[in-house]
């Protein structure tokens, strides 16, 4: 499906935005917020498998991919405000659905907290609450903190499996191809994203998220352990936990399964249980 790419000015800096138009009479807008140091392009496979009635808006975080760096430290609330600003610039003022992947899940929670009338439903993929969450494995955390170590780790098949779990244990080359462009650059953008995550938590506030929320988590995710998803499901009143036996990148490595699953939750008249 054809997409539109543009640059949107947020806080004086250009953010790369890609829009996949929705089809049919009942189009709903979905914003996807991606993870640490990853371009919006890593979501291509997942987006292609999502319901065609969904208009999908993605963006590169500041300092990542085609987005300018903000140049100074920023917080998760600033990113959440930036997402709302993008929607305003695009003329999307009705409530939207927000899908947050990993780091993007913390941003998605914050959007629902500080701009609740702008959010209809939430999907949190392999995510946590930021600070005060259950940390991942030492290897995963060390890889995120050091771009050079990340590049070295991704040359070793076993290391890739140990970092991400799930399908990554058998498909290391697919992971390398998926993340190749991200591993070669974005050091400043990565550090600013990490700083934002390390200085913010939604944990005391998630109980105030009232939107229907799908919480998708893998039992083999070394980066974001399952206990984080259980905490979110316990705290969000309308949150429902959906588990799978995969790892951190499962939705990207198996879009044929996860695209329709997420779409079913977002397009249902009343959120139900995916197949």
Alpha carbons within 13 A on the beta-carbon side of 88: 10
Q: What residues are annotated to the active site?
A: 102
Contact 237, 155 (CB under 8 A): no
Cα–Cα dist 197/36, whole Å: 9
Distances from the Cα of 33 to the Cα of 90, 116, 153, angstroms: 16, 16, 25
Pairing between β-strand 13-20 and β-strand 28-33 as defined by DSSP bridges: unpaired
Count CB-CB contacts under 10 A for residue 17.
22
Backbone angles phi, psi at 180, to 5 degrees: -55, -55
Cα–Cα dist 229/95, whole Å: 25
Q: What is the CA radius of gyration of the chain?
A: 17
Contact 217, 243 (CB under 8 A): yes
**Among candidate residues 159, 153, 158, 149, the one with its CA nearest the CA of residue 190:** 149
Cα–Cα dist 147/186, whole Å: 9
Q: Helix H segments across the chain?
A: 44-48, 76-89, 103-114, 138-145, 147-153, 157-164, 172-183, 187-198, 226-235, 250-253, 255-267
């Amino acid at each position: 499906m054809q997409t539109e790419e543009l640059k949107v000015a947020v806080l004086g800096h250009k953010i790369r935005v890609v829009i996949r138009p929705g089809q049919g009479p009942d189009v709903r807008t979905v914003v996807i917020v991606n993870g640490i140091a990853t371009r919006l392009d890593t979501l291509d496979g997942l987006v292609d498998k999502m319901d065609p009635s969904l208009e999908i808006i993605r963006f590169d975080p500041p300092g990542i991919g085609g987005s300018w760096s903000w140049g100074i430290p920023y917080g998760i609330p600033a990113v959440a405000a930036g997402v709302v600003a993008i929607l305003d610039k695009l003329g999307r003022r009705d409530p939207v659905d927000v899908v947050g992947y990993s780091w993007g899940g913390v941003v998605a929670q914050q959007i629902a907290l500080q701009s609740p009338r702008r959010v209809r439903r939430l999907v949190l993929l392999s995510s946590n609450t930021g600070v005060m969450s259950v940390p991942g494995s030492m290897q995963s955390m060390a890889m995120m903190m050091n771009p050079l170590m990340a590049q070295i780790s991704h040359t070793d098949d076993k290391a890739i499996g140990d970092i991400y779990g799930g399908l990554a244990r058998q498909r290391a080359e697919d992971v390398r191809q998926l993340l190749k462009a991200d591993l070669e650059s974005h050091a400043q953008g990565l550090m600013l994203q990490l700083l934002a995550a390390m200085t913010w938590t939604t944990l005391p506030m998630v109980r105030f998220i009232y939107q229907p929320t799908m919480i998708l988590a893998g039992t083999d995710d070394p980066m974001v352990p399952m206990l984080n998803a259980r905490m979110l499901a316990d705290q969000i009143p309308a949150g429902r936990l959906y588990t799978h036996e995969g790892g951190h990148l499962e939705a990207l490595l198996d879009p044929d399964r996860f695209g329709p699953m997420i779409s079913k939750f977002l397009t249902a008249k009343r959120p139900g249980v995916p197949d």
